Structure 1
Amino acid sequence: MAPPSLETVGDRYQHIAFGDAAVARQRITGSVVAYGAGLDTPDSGPQRVTPREVRMLTGVFAFHMATVTPSGWPYVQYRSGPTGFVHHLGGNRFGFADFRGNQQFVSVGNLETDGRVALFVADHPKKMRLKVFGRATVIDGDADPELLERLSQVADGRIAARCERSIVIDVEAFDWNCARSMVPLYTSEQVRERVQPYIDQIHQLQDRVDELERRLW
Structure 2
Amino acid sequence: MPHHFAEIAFTPTVKKVQEALGSRSSYARMESAPAAVNQRLTPAEAGFIAARDSLYMATVGETGWPYIQHRGGPTGFVRVLDERTIGFADFRGNRQYVSVGNLTGDDRVSLFFMDYPNKTRLKLFGRATLVGLDDEATLSRLEMPDYRARVERGLLVTVEGFDWNCPQHITERHTLEDMRAMTAPLVARIAELEAALARHSDAGHSDGRAPADR
Scaled by the length of structure 1, the TM-score of the pair is: 0.87
Q: Is the 1:136–1:167 Cα contact (8 Å) retained in structure 2?
A: yes
Return 5+ residue gaps in structure 2 as ranges.
206-214
3-state SS, counterpart of residue 146 of structure 1? helix
Match of 1:105 among 67, 86, 97: 97
> What residue in structure 2 maps to residue 152 of structure 1?
143
| 2:8 maps to 1:19 | no
Q: Give aligned-pair identity as a percent.
A: 40
Contact kept, 8 Å, 1:116 with 1:135, in 2: the verdict is yes
Q: 1:35 aligns with which of 27, 50, 55?
A: 27
Paired letter, 2:79? H
Q: Distance in 2 between matches of 1:180 and 1:33?
A: 21
DSSP 3-state at the match of 2:63: coil
Q: Is the 8 A contact 2:2 2:31 kept in 1?
A: no
Structure 2 contact 42–83 (Cα < 8 Å) conserved: no
Distance in 2 separating the partners of 1:40 and 1:55: 27
After TM superposition, the structure 1 stretch with the greater mean CA deviation from structure 2, 23-32 or 76-85, is 23-32
**What are the superposed Cα offsets for residues 151-187 of structure 1, whole Å, 9 maximum, x if unpaired?**
113xxx4321110211000111111111121111111
Query: CA distance change for structure 1 residues 46 and 52 in 2, over 3 Å: closer, same or farther?
Result: closer
Letter in 2 for 1:28: A
Alpha-carbon separation, structure 2, partners of 1:39 and 1:176: 15
Give RMSD over aligned pairs.
2.0
Please name the residue that 1:194 is paired with: 182
Question: What is the CA–CA distance in structure 1 between the aligned matches of 2:123 and 2:61, rounded to whole Å?
Answer: 20
- Residues 195 and 141 of structure 1: CA distance in aligned 2, closer, same or farther (over 3 Å): same
Letter in 2 for 1:82: P
Shift of residue 44, structure 1, vs aligned partner: 5.0
Alpha-carbon contact 1:46-1:171 (below 8 Å) kept: no
1:73-84 residue pairs with structure 2 within 5 A? Answer: 73-84=65-76
Whichever residue aligns with residue 165 of structure 2, its letter is N
Q: Any residues of structure 2 matched to 1:33-112 within 5 Å, and which?
A: 33-37=25-29, 39=31, 47-112=39-104
Deviation at 1:40, TM superposition (A): 6.5
Q: Does 1:170 align with 2:162?
A: no
Change (3 A) 1:36 1:51: same
Shift of 1:100: 1.9
Match of 2:196? 208
Consecutive aligned runs of 4 or more in structure 1 exceeding 4 Å deviation: 38-41, 43-46
Question: Structure 2 length normalisation: TM-score?
Answer: 0.88
